[in-house]
Amino acid sequence: MAMSMDGLSSKAQCPFSKPQSLMNFESSKEVTDILHTKTEEPGVCSRSVCNGSLMNIRRMPLNLRPSGEMLVQAKQFLGEYYKEKKGFEGKDHLIRLQEVTKSISRTGTYNLTYDELVFGAKLAWRNAPRCIGRISWNKLHVIDGRKVTTGRQMFELVLEHLDYATNEGNIRSTITVFPQRKAGQRDFRVWNQQLIAFAGYEQPDGSVVGDPAFREFTKICQELGWKGKGGRFDVLPLVVSTPTGDPEWFEIPEEKVLRVHLKHPEYEWFEELNLQWFAIPAVASMMLDCGGIQYTAAPFNGWYMASEIATRDLCDVQRYNMLPVIGEKLGLDTKSPASLWKDKTTLEMNIAVLHSFKEKEITLVDHHTAAETFMQFHSNEYRQRGGCPADWAWIVPPISGSLTPVFHQEMSLYYMKPGYEYQIPAWVANEKQEKMLSGETCNGGERPIKKFKKAALAVVFSTTLYVAVLAKRVRIAIIYASETGKAQAYASTLYNIFSHNFNPEVICMDDYDVSKLSSETLVAILASTTGVGEPPQNGKEFTKSLYELRERSHTSGSDENIIPFWDDYNDVKVNGISASTSSDSGIPSEKKLLSKKNRSFFHRLVRRLRRRKDYDTEEGNDPSYYLSSTSLYKSNFNLAKSTNSLSRNIDPASDVSYAVFALGSTNYKYYCSFGKYVDNLMFTLGGDRVMELTCGDETENQQETFNSWSNQLLEICCDRFQVEHASSNVHVASQITSSKQVKIAKQNGPVQLAKGLSAIHRKNIETCTVVRSQSLYEDGNKWYHKLTVEKGNKPSLQYLVGDHIGVLPSNNPLMVQGILDKLVNCQDPAASVQISVRKGEGDPWLPHPNLPVSSIRTLLERYLDITSPPSQALLGLMASLSNNNRQRTRLNILATDIEEYRRWRKEKHPNLLEVLNYFSSVKMDAGLLLCRLPTLQPRLYSVSSSPDYEEGELTLTVASFSYVTRGGKGTLHEGVCTSYLRTLMPGDKIELFHKSAPEFHLPEEGSSPIILIGAGSGVAPLRGIWQHYHYQYSINRSALRREVTLYYGCQTRATDLYAEEKAAMCRAKVLKEAYLALSRDSRMPKAYVQDLLLLNGKEVYKQLVQKSGHVYICGSESMADGVSESLLSIVQDHGRKTVGQAKNLIQKMKDEHRYHEDIFGNGSPS
């Protein structure tokens, strides 16, 4: 690449570039890094020597990057940029690529746009392997200094940088980017290693007054004419150079330097040491290498970690070396290392630095918090990018190493572009570039490109062997869109199933290039649906692109007749128009006989007529002449049979085999609507459906449905592509039909609960302690409860306002005991056991994949679902175990008649104990039952607190869920999780995991208004929002305040949750207004939140439309639908819009991430 290739990179040594497994020895959890396989940057190690601990081994050379290399890096960078913008290989991307290619061809370089520069600078920080503070990478502020020409202009921009970054102590991450390297001239450089640093004056005896680290640079400044005061803490001048002039120095005004004088909270003598430090750690000597362009002057800053100052700057022997002085002051034995005086002294120094910065209200982070936030960043990166480059030697803090979580985490060190790179010191580079410009050569005139090509050829040759093996296998593209991570987990499982006989690849929908669809052999799609029936965030652009591909292929590429994507999606979602031949009910047989192309044509025609009908109705025209979709299909049936030429273009997915597994919950109105829509799209694109659409219901053992689907798909693919059959090793519960297939063996002790749950649910589940449990309202079976949990600094539970917390519930112990009393072969339910299974006699015993070592009682309480009605398959098994003819007959009917089963389930909704009591003749083996029960699923709750306002804690607001079966005449049932949470008391343990909800996050910048709308327990995330702003205003009273308005609905004033807190927020002017709608208060007219919105329609329109505000909605589906209708009416009335225009404006708000919904289902126990 651009640097010398004296030693082959790790890429050259490892051409297969396999995923790297990395262990966390504290949690015993393992992650797999695949991100390193995507970089071509050379590493720093040879075949026999690891150079990872060397300081500045990757110094960038002085020459301009060759145009060929620059173009390669530019293409890679622009690809990442447009993927982030969801425009990869779109029109803008291709035009921009042409511009850059022409510019490089003509001039040898090109210029980044400001947006590209901002994206690249942030990404470079994200890629920085030595930085522990990368969790804030996306908040970097970029100052564009690329138009400066003189040293004075550079100096003035640096002062602007210091002003913005210092921010009166509330430090802001900032970078200033000066002009890029160009051929035939010297670089723009900042000579300082840091913008602010203390001088080091060398004395005649060789000692140094000040900071010895800057002894050499201090001499250079003095040679340039600067005269320091000779003190210990004199700020060095800023030295800069431009292509046209000599280096210039500028005195940094004292008012631009925020100093912190250090003192100790306990030792008064500490202040007498007259120690101080500066607030801004601004690195000035590194290069920003972005898109092939080298920005040689790009000073940037974050904020300090206390141990950087206390342990390194002030205590290192080669720096201020304050350890002996302070050790003696503390009265420690400094003569013997065994007294640990250095450790004690360093600790007190850290305490002093932390205390001093906190007292002055200047941003600083301690090394424990920094390490924990890095682990959160590390976890985020593996989830989002599949890896995280990290230099362990730099990430582990210089104090308390093994007491921090980063110490126990294995890390992979590799380099990515964009990146921040070390450079040759500016005073050395200045002289060398003068020689280069005069025709002299440096370092023997090496040619790294030639060596790079040799290394690349070696990689290509050895990789070819591996690729040749894979090329013989049939490719399977496994594409997923995930809301909670479950579809992604299923995709990983599917990869493991197919990897033995096929060449599978797992791809997030966001990352898939739909233009390549026609070249696929088989596509397996796993698609989740959000609570409001929409695609997950990482599936929207894929589906839009797929839809546009279909429409263009059927309209000769013309935009004129293409219906907007969201109109089509909502039409299919609401009206159920689908091209599916068998999974859709109520479709006329004539419609089913239509060809794929004709069917797509008719769908579009029906929808256009409907849209025209809406339009004409608005205009007052008579819509009676329009045909229904069914009559339209019938009237054109003969035409469909006689011709197949309605669209002459070749379908983009013609002959591509595909199968769709849709994930959803029947608690929600639009069950699996996204998966159904994708299945419809693939079919009308010409795809060959190898399996009927399969929907996995979260309330009905979704895991078992997926296992059956994946096994069936494997069998079909093996037959279809003539591949040797192989067992998938995926556990399918229905295959366990006899107690002879199950073995229970006693073990010494159980697996830790959080560890066992984490393995099953593939989540980072933590055990926390309840600190407060408070009733908010209670009246019979209706209640609201507030539960506060101590999360501490656990990295996996670091949440943002609007996020969710997953709760792992516990079944009712009385119900568990009742089931245990019914089981056979269950002598000691409290003993730890291992459940093993086998498919048949002679097959090996294998540990059950979803049942860890635990007691049978614990398995029934914490791991297995015993409250949902048993599945038909389990009822069929019970029938085979019954010795009563009447009961066996009834069980067989329920197991085989789907309509009768649904009626029985809806009417009685019986739990397992009720079924065993009713069908008392069933003698169920303990091991057999454990293997047939579904997994007890976690429940998600919106966090009703702010992580800043309630530091170290999180709060949940829980509403009762209870229902009486048989139309109110049956048994009272309660939600398994809500009733569990209500019983918890302070000191009790609870298992939790964090689930990010980016669609409900707060806007990062600006002051646009916010409207909060909630009903009942839907106040939960809204409470976190007002707490967030209350905290922000309390620490920065001069901050620009947002206009936050709350609309809240409940039944009576008694159920007005957090009423006193809301009133306090209004008094503190955090909330501008707090409106209350009461639906069952006899003293007031019945009202809902949507009614209040209509009453304040003019103000709502002003806030959301004219001021580009945000709206946050949390509640049930019916409430969200009512709010949506009210907002639509408000836009129509106050914006003078038609229905279509109003819908487009609301959709525009959603596309701009200004319409936020957190919807919970109306249905089953939670």
Catalytic positions? 131, 134, 303, 308
Ranges of H-type helices in 576-726: 589-592, 596-619, 629-635, 637-642, 673-684, 702-720
Ranges of H-type helices in 480-595: 486-498, 540-554, 565-575, 589-592
Collapsing DSSP to helix, strand or coil, 67 comes out as helix
Collapsing DSSP to helix, strand or coil, 260 comes out as strand
CB 1018 within 8 Å of CB 1058:
no
Name the DSSP class of 398. S
Collapsing DSSP to helix, strand or coil, 317 comes out as coil
Q: How many CA atoms lie within 13 A of 397 on its CB side?
A: 30
N residues, the chain: 1166
Exposed e or buried b per residue across 1021-1049, where buried means at least 16 C-beta atoms within 10 angstroms of its C-beta: bbbbbbbbbbbbbeeeeeeeebebbbbbb
The DSSP annotation for 99-123 comes to HHHHHHHHHS-----HHHHHHHHHH
Task: Assess whether the previous peptide bond of 418 is cis (omega < 30° from 0).
Answer: yes
CB 192 within 8 Å of CB 284:
yes
Strands 1010-1015 and 1044-1050, by their bridges, are parallel
Strands 141-144 and 475-481, by their bridges, are unpaired
CB 249 within 8 Å of CB 231:
no
| Phi, psi at 389, each rounded to 5° | -65, 130
Structure tokens that stand for 628 in this block: 């229904």
Give residue 69's Cα distance to chain centre: 33
Closest CA to 882 of 935, 914, 911, 922: 922
| Phi, psi at 815, each rounded to 5° | -65, -40
Collapsing DSSP to helix, strand or coil, 175 comes out as strand
CB 264 within 8 Å of CB 270:
yes
Collapsing DSSP to helix, strand or coil, 425 comes out as coil
Closest CA to 320 of 215, 213, 203: 213
Closest CA to 186 of 151, 143, 214: 151
Q: From the CA atom positions of the chain, what is the Rg in Å?
A: 33
Structure tokens that stand for 1160 in this block: 């919970």
Identify residue 355 by its one-letter amino acid code.
H
d(CA 792, CA 70): 47
Q: In what order do the strands lie in the sheet with 939-942?
A: 939-942, 804-807, 989-995, 766-779, 782-790, 953-959
The DSSP annotation for 958-1023 comes to EE--EEETGGGTS-EEE-HHHHHHHH--TT-EEEEEEE--GGGPPPSS----EEEEEEGGGGHHHH
Largest CA distance in the chain: 107
CB 594 within 8 Å of CB 633:
yes
Residue with the two structure tokens 């947006």: 115
Q: How many CB atoms lie within 10 A of CB 772?
A: 13
CB 242 within 8 Å of CB 150:
yes
Q: CA angle, corner 845, sides to 844 and 850, nearest 5?
A: 130
Cα dihedral value 55, 61, 67, 71, nearest 10: 10
